[in-house]
């Protein structure tokens, strides 16, 4: 049988990153095929290449045995490839059928289309009222609209990008039934996820990606979660060579029962989060991003103010009510995930960006800027962290992501903080510099700084952290001693397989629906 879709040696690189490294895979008609990998493994890039939204640097795509020579989304749709994005593209102020009509080619008759939508949605067991305004629909219903929109095109291959990340368990079950029905009718399904359990439940085969390359193709139904997790997060042994921690007895950064409800679709609600970091140790937060890390970090940095001051404690004092400036005054420093626009002002020079958080270190006198001091500080950071920039006058946005990251990490470390929060410390940074940043983090922790690291890279966390917690769906796991745990345990916690948290999650989500 000819595969529905076949990829041969797909390569795609972005400056400094290989997003897809020589990827080949094939999907048969009627097959439900999983693409499994951590965030940043290259899944989304690959899907966009298949859909034609971006172009591969090299490689070939065959559809039903025919080489696809020119590719773009319009051609995809001619070929019968449809994609449901992770983030929906619906107009909220108009009705379901009008939204669907917008995506149709040529003329349409709203009345007939309504009937078609109704019939189709009934047939696949996902009822949608075509007349309702999208604004009033729940997230699950919106996804149905997206899927119905694709199904109207009578697709031969349906791509779903992390479709369950916004769904309740009940909605997931319904979605799976629909997908199985579709597959039984001959439609191939490419299912992108990092959730092992779902993939085992739904898919026949799974292609596992790590760092942009295929690490294996497995039979999803017979391979154990442990094995899949290992393929996904990698099994190289950590290069831990850091001196033992001598942490303080009292925590210097503490979160106590932080709960923060967020309206659905506006982020992840934090649920009774507690954790503590002592002076002299590095604590890592593992987890696939989008599970509440960003929200938690912004409560810690002060960009979001907590309702109760006591839920965040800094150096033994309640700090949840303090703004970022006051927290910094008390000795907090923070490297955010986004470098441009948050950690640095894109249009300002490095020297000016040094002032952003370094202004307490003598760069401001009598309300006036001391540009010389700022330049000295910036030059020092540039030298110590080997930032590749012409000089301190270079504009932040002219630097590569990795180099700007080095500058921001360096700037925050040079502030000699008592507590350092770091999000994704080595994202996009080359191997050598990443090692240096990790070593520096270990060094300052051994000098008495409390360091909290959020990272998607398990290898990195295992290499530098003394303790780990795992975040999943707004919940934080119990702390694990890095020396006493392993990737498998963490990997399972990351995908929500831990029995205790899983049952709680289900209860909460069920109440939600």
Partner 1 sequence: MRFTIEQRPEPSVTMRLAAPVIATALTLFVGSILFLALGHDPLRAFHAFFIQPISTMNGLSELLLKASPLILIACGLAIGFRANVWNIGAEGQLIMGAIAASGIGLFWPNPDSVLLLPLMFLAGMLAGMAWAGIPAFLRARMNTNEILVTLMLTYVAALVLSWLVHGPWRDPMGFNFPQTALLPPAAMFEPFDYAYRLTPAIFITVVAVIAMWLFTDRSFMGYKLTVGGAAPRAARYAGFRESSAIWVGLLAGGGAAGIAGMAEAAGPLGQLSSTISPGYGFAAIIVAFIGRLNAFGIVLGGLLLSLLILGGETVQITLGMPSAITRILQGILLFFLLAADFFIFYRLRRLKEAV
Residues that bind partner 1 (CB under 8 A): 70, 301-303, 323-328, 334, 336, 338, 341-348, 352, 355-357, 359, 364, 367-369, 395, 398
- Those residues with Cβ within 8 angstroms of residue 439's Cβ, 6 or more apart along the chain or in another chain: 242
Nearer to partner 1, 18 or 369 (CB): 369
Exposure b/e, 323-337, CB count within 10 A at least 16 = b? ebeebbeebbbbbbb
Q: How far is the CB of 280 from partner 1 (least distance, A)?
A: 26
Q: Judged by CB, which is closer to partner 1: 174, or 361?
A: 361
Residue 426 to residue 430: CA distance in whole angstroms = 8
CB of 301 to partner 1, least distance (A): 7
Q: How far is the CB of 269 from partner 1 (least distance, A)?
A: 21
**CA–CA separation, 411 vs 354, rounded Å?**
7
Beta strands in 384-446 (DSSP E): 419-423
Both tokens of 510, joined, read 């069920």
d(C-alpha 379, C-alpha 350), whole Å: 9
Q: Tokens in use for 204? A: 């026949």
CB of 462 to partner 1, least distance (A): 28
The answer to whether the CB of 64 falls within 8 A of the CB of 6 is no
Whole-angstrom distance, CA of residue 490 vs CA of residue 50 = 32
Taking the complex as a whole, how short is the minimal distance between the CB of residue 329 and partner 1, in angstroms?
9
Q: Tell me how far, at minimum, the Cβ of 302 lies from partner 1, in Å.
A: 7
Q: Which is nearer to partner 1, 133 or 340 (CB)?
A: 340
Sign of CA dihedral 35, 507, 173, 290: negative
Q: Measured from the CB atom, is 226 or 364 closer to partner 1?
A: 364
**Minimal CA–CA distance to 162: which of 139, 141, 193?**
193
Residue 142 or 328: the one with the smaller Cβ distance to partner 1 is 328
CB of 447 to partner 1, least distance (A): 25
C-beta neighbour count of 135 within 10 angstroms? 12
| Residue closer to partner 1, measured from CB, 205 or 327 | 327
Which one, 29 or 331, has the nearer CB to partner 1? 331
């Amino acid at each position: 049988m000819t595969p529905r879709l076949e990829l041969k040696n797909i390569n795609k690189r972005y400056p400094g990153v290989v997003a897809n490294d020589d990827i080949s895979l094939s999907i048969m008609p009627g097959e439900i095929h999983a693409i499994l990998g951590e965030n940043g493994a290259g899944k989304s890039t690959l899907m966009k290449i298949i859909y034609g939204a971006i172009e591969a640097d090299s490689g070939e795509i065959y559809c039903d045995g025919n080489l696809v020579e020119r590719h773009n989304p319009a051609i995809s749709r001619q070929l019968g490839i449809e994609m449901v994005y992770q983030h929906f593209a619906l107009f909220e102020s108009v009705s379901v059928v009008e939204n669907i009509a917008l995506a149709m080619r040529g003329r349409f008759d709203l009345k007939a289309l309504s009937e078609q939508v109704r019939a189709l949605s009934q047939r696949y067991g996902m009822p949608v009222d075509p007349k309702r305004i999208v604004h009033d629909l729940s997230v699950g219903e919106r996804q149905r609209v997206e899927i119905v929109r694709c199904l109207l095109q009578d697709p031969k291959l349906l791509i779903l990008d992390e479709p369950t990340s916004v769904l309740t368990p009940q909605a997931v079950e319904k979605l799976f039934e629909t997908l199985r029905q579709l597959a039984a009718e001959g439609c191939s399904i490419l299912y992108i996820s990092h959730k092992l359990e779902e993939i085992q439940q739904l898919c026949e085969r799974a292609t596992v990606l790590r760092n942009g390359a295929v690490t294996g193709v497995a039979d999803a139904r017979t391979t154990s979660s442990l094995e899949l997790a290992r393929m996904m997060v990698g099994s190289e042994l950590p290069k831990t060579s850091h001196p033992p921690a001598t942490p303080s007895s009292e925590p210097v950064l503490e979160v106590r029962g932080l709960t923060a409800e967020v309206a659905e679709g506006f982020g992840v609600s934090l649920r009774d989060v507690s954790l503590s970091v002592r002076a002299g140790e590095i604590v890592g937060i593992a987890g696939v991003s989008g599970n509440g890390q960003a929200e938690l970090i912004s409560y810690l940095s002060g960009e979001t103010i907590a309702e109760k001051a006591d839920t965040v404690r800094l150096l033994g004092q309640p700090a949840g009510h303090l703004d970022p400036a006051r927290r910094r005054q008390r000795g907090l420093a923070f490297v955010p995930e986004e470098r441009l626009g948050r950690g640095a002002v894109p249009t300002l020079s490095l020297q000016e960006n040094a002032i952003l958080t370094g202004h307490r270190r003598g760069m401001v006198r009598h309300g006036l800027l001391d540009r010389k001091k700022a330049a000295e500080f910036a030059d020092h950071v540039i030298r110590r962290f080997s930032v590749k920039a012409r000089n301190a006058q270079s504009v932040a946005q002219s630097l590569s992501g990795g180099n700007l990251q080095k500058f921001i990490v360096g700037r925050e470390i040079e502030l000699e903080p008592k507590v350092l929060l770091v999000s994704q410390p080595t994202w996009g940074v080359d191997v050598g510099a990443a090692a240096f940043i990790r070593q520096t983090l270990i060094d300052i922790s051994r000098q008495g700084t409390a360091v909290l690291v959020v990272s998607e890279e398990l290898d990195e966390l295992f290499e530098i952290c003394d303790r780990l917690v795992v975040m999943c769906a707004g919940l934080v796991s119990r702390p694990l001693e890095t020396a006493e745990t392993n990737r498998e345990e963490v990997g399972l916690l990351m995908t929500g397989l831990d029995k205790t948290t899983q049952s709680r999650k289900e209860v909460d989500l069920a109440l939600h629906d």
